[in-house]
């Protein structure tokens, strides 16, 4: 289409006064309905957990044994290496980092906040909420490019070996936010084995999409915790997961797996903050999800709702955008996002064009530290929340905006 034709089509869109939102990776109401049973669990007569624990009263800082057993399959770690918390794994990541800032890790000579100018490695494109924590606490962010097998490991190895101020690294290792990449076995092995100048270097392994498949591909992820232990770096990894996109986004439970030494450290750090997590919500989840098979069965029902939305977006992009130079998009096998790459310098313009016709996208740049994508290329598409018809409509609008933004430039 010519610029004129595209502009005419765009003006027609404006008149339709759309109100569609593809910004955040939120489950749809239909997905939340899959766990409706939770709303009346554990039930009036269920107040005692394993070990005669009264789930209504104080205590059990590490979390209920049966709930840690349930998380054992998500985190691929034994229950004694797991600590559970409340409804937000982001909070747990934040708190681990804050404890390290104020107190140091179990391998730190002093608190991170007392060491000058510490830094985290941030694979890009990545998750804006990870970057926001670093920004908030003035932690320098070192972007490293994501490839199909994970972050550029040569760059990561070079950085961490050279600079003891580099204390950590954010990773979403499976169905990465937003690229959908799964870290390869070689990548995981190199992360576990690499030498770091900082003795207290920590990988924040946010395995948010551990069981969130969109296809029949099994897509296994190597076990970082086991690899770090085997490589003589047992305390390197904190492995996070939650049921936010399994049961309820705002009222699930979350947990972290780590070495026994890290677990002891974390419990000692958490003890002044709380007497214990909400154990009722833990037992509620155990009663509903039951075990690994229960989780798998539920996730296949999520997939039935999610996969058609992803397919719809991909089909429309394929039909509308295949011929455009420098335009590409990911075809994720799981997770919550599609990353759309537009020609350099055009992402902000696409997002702005879409917003003006009522389709809200995540701000261009959000996938990069400080919200600044140096190439202005990456756009994160989150098709989970709107219904299928809305997703289709929104994808068509996005495609048109991409075409218009590209042709405008010529």
- The CA radius of gyration of the chain, in Å to the nearest whole number, is 22
Nearer to its own copies, 24 or 348 (CB): 24
Q: Is 123 helix (H, G, I), strand (E, B) or coil?
A: strand
Q: How far is CA 177 from the centre of its chain?
A: 5
Q: Does 29 engage in binding with its own copies (CB under 8 A)?
A: yes
Nearer to its own copies, 6 or 141 (CB): 141
The DSSP letter of residue 201 is -
Q: Which of 193, 280, 305, 324 binds its own copies (CB under 8 A)?
A: 280
For residue 45, the minimal CB distance to its own copies (Å) is 8
Q: Does 91 engage in binding with its own copies (CB under 8 A)?
A: yes
Candidate segments 193-201, 275-283, 310-318, 386-394, binder of its own copies by CB under 8 A? 275-283
The DSSP letter of residue 108 is -
Q: Does 387 engage in binding with its own copies (CB under 8 A)?
A: no
Q: Does 30 engage in binding with its own copies (CB under 8 A)?
A: no
Report the alpha-carbon distance of residue 74 to residue 292 in Å, rounded: 8
Nearer to its own copies, 29 or 232 (CB): 29
Tell me, by CB under 8 A, how many residues bind its own copies: 58
User: Helix 388-409 to helix 347-356 angle, to the nearest 10 degrees?
Assistant: 130
Which pairing describes strands 119-124 and 140-147: parallel, antiparallel, or unpaired?
Answer: parallel
Which pairing describes strands 166-171 and 119-124: parallel, antiparallel, or unpaired?
Answer: parallel
Q: What angle do CA 325, 331, 332 make, to 5 degrees?
A: 145
Q: Does 109 engage in binding with its own copies (CB under 8 A)?
A: no
Q: How far is CA 3 from the centre of its chain?
A: 38
CA of 218: how far to CAs of 104, 186, 334, in Å? 38, 17, 10
Nearer to its own copies, 40 or 322 (CB): 40
Q: Mask of contacts with its own copies, 112-151, x by CB under 8 A?
A: -x---------------x--xx-xxx--------------
Binding site for its own copies (CB under 8 A): 24, 26-27, 29, 32, 35-37, 39-47, 54-60, 86-88, 90-91, 94-95, 98, 101-103, 113, 129, 132-133, 135-137, 244, 248-251, 271-281
């Amino acid at each position: 289409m010519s610029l004129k034709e595209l502009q005419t089509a765009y003006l027609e869109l404006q008149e339709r006064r759309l109100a569609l939102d593809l910004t955040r990776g939120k489950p749809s109401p239909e997905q939340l309905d899959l766990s409706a049973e939770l709303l009346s669990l554990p039930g009036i007569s269920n107040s005692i957990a394993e070990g005669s624990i009264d789930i209504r009263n104080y205590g059990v800082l590490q979390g209920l044994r049966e709930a840690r057993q349930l998380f054992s399959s998500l985190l691929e770690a034994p229950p004694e290496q797991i600590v559970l918390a409340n409804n937000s794994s982001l909070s747990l990541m934040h708190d681990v980092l804050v404890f390290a800032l104020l107190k140091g890790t179990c391998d730190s000579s002093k608190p991170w906040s007392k060491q000058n100018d510490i830094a985290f490695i941030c694979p890009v494109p990545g998750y804006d909420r990870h970057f926001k924590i670093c920004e908030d606490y003035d932690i320098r962010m070192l972007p490293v490019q994501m490839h199909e097998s994970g972050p550029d490991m040569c760059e990561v190895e070079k950085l961490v070996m050279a600079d003891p101020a580099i204390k950590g690294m954010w990773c979403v290792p499976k169905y990465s936010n937003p690229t959908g990449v799964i870290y390869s076995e070689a990548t995981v092995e190199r992360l576990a084995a690499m030498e770091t100048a900082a003795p207290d270097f920590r990988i924040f392994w946010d395995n948010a999409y551990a069981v969130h498949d969109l296809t029949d591909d099994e897509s296994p992820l190597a076990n970082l915790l086991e690899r770090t232990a085997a490589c003589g770096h047992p305390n390197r990894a904190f492995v996070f997961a939650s049921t936010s996109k399994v049961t309820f986004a705002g009222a699930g439970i979350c947990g972290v797996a780590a070495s026994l030494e890290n677990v002891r450290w974390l419990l000692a750090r958490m003890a002044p903050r709380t007497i214990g997590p909400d154990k009722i919500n833990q037992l509620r989840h155990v009663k509903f999800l039951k075990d690994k098979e229960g989780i798998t069965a539920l996730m296949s029902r999520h997939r039935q709702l999610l996969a058609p939305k992803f397919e719809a977006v991909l089909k429309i992009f394929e039909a509308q955008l295949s011929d455009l130079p420098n335009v590409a998009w990911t075809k994720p096998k799981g997770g919550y996002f599609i990353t759309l790459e537009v020609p350099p310098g055009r992402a902000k313009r696409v997002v702005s064009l879409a917003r003006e016709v009522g389709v809200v996208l995540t701000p261009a740049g959000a996938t990069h530290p400080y919200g600044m994508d140096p190439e202005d290329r990456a756009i994160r598409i989150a098709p989970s929340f709107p219904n299928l018809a809305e997703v289709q409509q929104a994808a068509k609008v996005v495609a048109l905006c991409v075409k218009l933004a590209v042709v405008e430039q010529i």
